[in-house]
């Protein structure tokens, strides 16, 4: 595949600085790029690698005067790079059709252009939209729905009553609609609370590998439109997640918590149940959220507080052994000074 830099600029709404007729044959990282490749720089700390890169062109946010490489100026270099990756490496096409080894229940409705692999199970009342692809070994439970153009990878489990929107991607091993973790203690034993609700996964959501999304006790667990969930994330029953949020690997959210829009929960963040996290919140990695967080806050720690204050606290923590020694030395000096300047005992004979 070959495309000129000027054509790429038109595609990405960018501006060429250098040779507009330069032919681009591939996309690569700045370290691995070869002549004919285009790469990108969005973080200033990688500018030192430009001189050693063999890339024919660079995607950058603003002109770099000291380089001779042709440049493509765009607003968001990383996004432009992602678009070019999709252009040079389009998604693999799968022929429409239903494998003969599919197990299909009663009243199943299947749209046009659907591809369903071997050993898939579609239980009674399942609805599959148009251009959906379901990989081998997947299970779609009774009355569940999968919207148009969604991609269900092999060995995904969608239990009964799960509604998956359009253009959703669900990776291998993920379970949507498992029972919520609900038990009531009585007379020294834990008794299961029936989990009768469902799960709604809205349009353009992506769930990574081995994610678990619990069904609601009643009502629905909801993952909002455009939210992206990394591998190994646990989402408890009746959790509500707003649009365009990011949940990084090993996040755990307890039941009935509400997560706002454009929220980022970094790796291994734990969130207690029945909390509210506002819009545009960022929670740093390994934090433990035990109380509500207002919109717009950036927090870290356990319990979490202002991220800037947390960074200062972490810097201080490393100095604690030295500070402890200094405090002991100061205490000794104070004792000596008190002995030296303390008034004589009134009972002492003069």
Report the CATH number at residue 121: 2.160.10.10
Task: Report CA dihedral (275, 276, 282, 286) to the nearest 10 degrees.
Answer: 0
Q: Domain for residue 349, yes or no?
A: no
The per-residue pLDDT for 1 is: 84
For residues 277 and 256, membership in a common domain is answered with yes
For residues 106 and 181, membership in a common domain is answered with yes
pTM (2 d.p.): 0.86
Burial label for 330, CB within 10 Å (0-12, 13-18, 19+), is exposed
Burial label for 214, CB within 10 Å (0-12, 13-18, 19+), is buried
Q: Phi, psi (5° rounding) for residue 97?
A: 150, 160
Q: Domain for residue 337, yes or no?
A: no
Q: Domain for residue 319, yes or no?
A: no
Interatomic CA distance for residues 158 and 140, integer angstroms: 5
Q: Domain for residue 72, yes or no?
A: yes
Catalytic residue among 186, 191, 237, 274: 237
Instruction: Look at phi and psi of residue 280 and say left if phi exceeds 0, alpha if psi is from -120 to 50, else beta.
Output: left
For residues 156 and 224, membership in a common domain is answered with yes
The per-residue pLDDT for 344 is: 66
Tell me the residue range of the domain where 76 lies: 3-88
3-state secondary structure (DSSP) of residue 315: helix
The CATH number given to whatever domain includes residue 21 is 3.40.1390.10
User: Tens of pLDDT along 7-46?
Assistant: 999 999 999 999 999 999 999 999 999 999 999 998 777 7
Is residue 190 flagged as an active site residue? no
Give the chain's residues under pLDDT 50: 350
Tokens of residue 230, six digits = 């990394």
User: Tens of pLDDT along 219-246?
Assistant: 999 999 999 999 999 999 999 999 999 9
User: ω before 160 within 30° of 0 (cis)?
Assistant: no
For residues 168 and 291, membership in a common domain is answered with yes
Q: In this structure, are residues 110 and 129 in contact, taking their beta carbons and an 8 Å threshold?
A: no
Q: Domain for residue 246, yes or no?
A: yes
Query: Considering its fold, how many domains does the chain have in total?
Result: 2
The per-residue pLDDT for 347 is: 61
For residues 205 and 291, membership in a common domain is answered with yes
For residues 177 and 299, membership in a common domain is answered with yes
């Amino acid at each position: 595949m070959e495309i000129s830099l000027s054509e790429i600029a038109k595609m990405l709404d960018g501006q060429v600085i250098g040779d507009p007729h330069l032919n681009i044959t591939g996309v690569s990282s700045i370290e691995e790029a070869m002549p004919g490749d285009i790469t990108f720089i969005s973080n200033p700390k990688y500018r030192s690698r430009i001189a050693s890169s063999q890339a024919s062109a660079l995607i950058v946010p603003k002109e770099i005067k000291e380089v001779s490489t042709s440049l493509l100026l765009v607003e968001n270099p990383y996004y432009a790079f992602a678009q070019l990756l999709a252009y040079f490496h389009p998604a693999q096409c799968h022929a429409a059709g239903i494998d003969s080894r599919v197990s299909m229940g009663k009243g199943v409705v299947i749209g046009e252009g659907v591809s369903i692999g071997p050993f898939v199970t579609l239980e009674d009342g399942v609805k599959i939209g148009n251009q959906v692809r379901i990989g081998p070994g997947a299970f779609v439970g009774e009355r569940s729905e999968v919207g148009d153009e969604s991609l269900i990878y092999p060995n995904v489990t969608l239990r009964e009553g799960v509604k998956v929107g359009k253009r959703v991607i669900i990776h291998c091993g993920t379970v949507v609609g498992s029972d919520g973790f609900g038990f009531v203690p009585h007379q020294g034993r834990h008794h299961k609370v029936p989990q009768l609700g469902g799960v709604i996964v809205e349009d353009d959501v992506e769930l990574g590998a081995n994610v678990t999304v619990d069904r609601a006790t009643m009502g629905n667990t909801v993952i909002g439109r455009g939210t992206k969930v990394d591998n190994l994330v646990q989402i408890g029953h009746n959790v509500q997640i707003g649009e365009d949020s990011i949940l990084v690997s090993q996040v755990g959210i307890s039941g009935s918590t509400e997560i706002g829009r454009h929220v980022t929960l970094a790796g291994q963040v734990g969130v207690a149940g029945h909390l509210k996290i506002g819009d545009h919140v960022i929670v740093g990695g390994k934090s433990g959220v035990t109380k509500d967080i207002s919109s717009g806050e950036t927090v870290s720690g356990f319990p979490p507080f202002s991220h800037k204050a947390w960074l200062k606290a972490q810097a201080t923590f490393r100095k604690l052994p030295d500070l402890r020694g200094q405090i002991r030395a100061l205490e000794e000096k104070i004792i000596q000074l008190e002995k030296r300047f303390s008034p004589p005992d009134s009972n002492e004979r003069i």
